[in-house]
Amino acid sequence: MKNRLDEARAIINSVDKQMADLFIERMKAVEIVYEHKREHGLPILDQNRENEVIERNSASIEDELMKEYYIDYLKNLMSISRSFQYRMQNGLKIAYSGVEGAFAHIASGRIFPKGNRIPHRDFKSAYEAVAKGECDVAVLPIENSYAGEVGQTIDLIFSGGLFINGIYELEIHQNLLGVEGSTVESIKKVTSHPQALAQCHEYIKSHGFDTEDSNNTAIAAKAVADSKDKSIGAIASVETAEIYGLKVLDKNINKSGENTTRFAVLSKVRAKTPSLSNSVLMFSVKNEAGSLANAISIIGKYGFNMTALRSRPMRKHSWQYYFYVEIDGTTDTENGKNMIEELKQVCDKLKIAGTFAPHTEI
């Protein structure tokens, strides 16, 4: 006759067998989820989705102590799922513009920690690498809080076939870097990208440094490292200093502490994911009186709030412009579909350029 311990262990063994079968079934579903994320250029971690899973599944457990442990169990299970996806992500090819240590390189690594980051000489070549199927996604800057929009990227999105499947905000900290043995006092000249030099103008002026433009902050850092000159400094990130073996002589020297660059993840397929709650529209309007006002009115008519509106010149048409718009909400709803149909009546060209979750910091 079995005692209570044996009976309890028999129940545990039976449940464990069921859990093993369910675990395999769950992980196969996770694999499908990952393939969707890869195809659409989405990051592995979707915090909103994980919070929703925890809230929904723990709601039916009334015992507070059991609920506490069940939530821990779910968190561990989702951590395992992410780890499994990261292992599969090793083959993900990410195109970015610049060299190792550039801010796009840093942003790519934070969005796709296990991906294979592939440098390209400029925005266009990184974009085309995805369009041609050589890379899975591109990570390109679209706006800086100090310098404004990155027109080259916006133009590529408007004219090309890739979609935005996420916009991520990277806080930019500029630092004075030098070779081993150098000091702030030994530096006579600093080199960096013109935007970085402009951001640090007051610091540069107060120290009386000469300046030299570089194509990229990371390229500037590499040049200083190669020169071994104690009188030349580079302005770049701490990560860049580590990559090129430079010493951080002074931290956070940029003019404004609120220096943020927004990076877009671009891929061939437009994602339709609930967590991507905002949309990007791009359009040119017909050459008729009131066309732009009509387009803006239509967006408002269907209850969409515009969070950004920018104009860009059309390269092949002098004195004509297209417009970049960010809105709260998606175009997959009935309201959104009706808005798009009405916009088509006043627009020459209209593109649903993508979706993103607002204010996603990396």
Name the pairing type of β-strands 247-250 and 175-178.
antiparallel
- H or E element, residue 265: strand 260-267
**153 Cβ contact partners less than 8 Å away, ≥ 6 residues apart:** 123, 127, 140, 141, 142, 264
Cβ–Cβ < 8 Å for 325, 308: yes
User: 60: burial class by Cβ within 10 Å (0-12, 13-18, 19+)?
Assistant: exposed
DSSP assignment string, 14-51:
HHHHHHHHHHHHHHHHHHHHHHHHHHHT--S--HHHHH
Q: Is 84 a catalytic site residue?
A: no
Q: Please report where in the chains the tokens 């000159």 appear, as a residue.
A: 229
CA distance 144 to 259: 7
Which residue of the set 263, 283, 323, 356 is catalytic? 263
**137 Cβ contact partners less than 8 Å away, ≥ 6 residues apart:** 41, 92, 93, 94, 95, 112, 130, 165, 265, 266, 267
Helix, strand, coil share of the chain (percent; to 5): 45, 25, 30
CA distance 212 to 189: 7
Q: What angle do CA 264, 269, 272 make, to 5 degrees?
A: 85
Which residue of the set 153, 217, 240, 261 is catalytic? 261
Cβ–Cβ < 8 Å for 199, 255: yes
- Residues designated catalytic: 261, 263
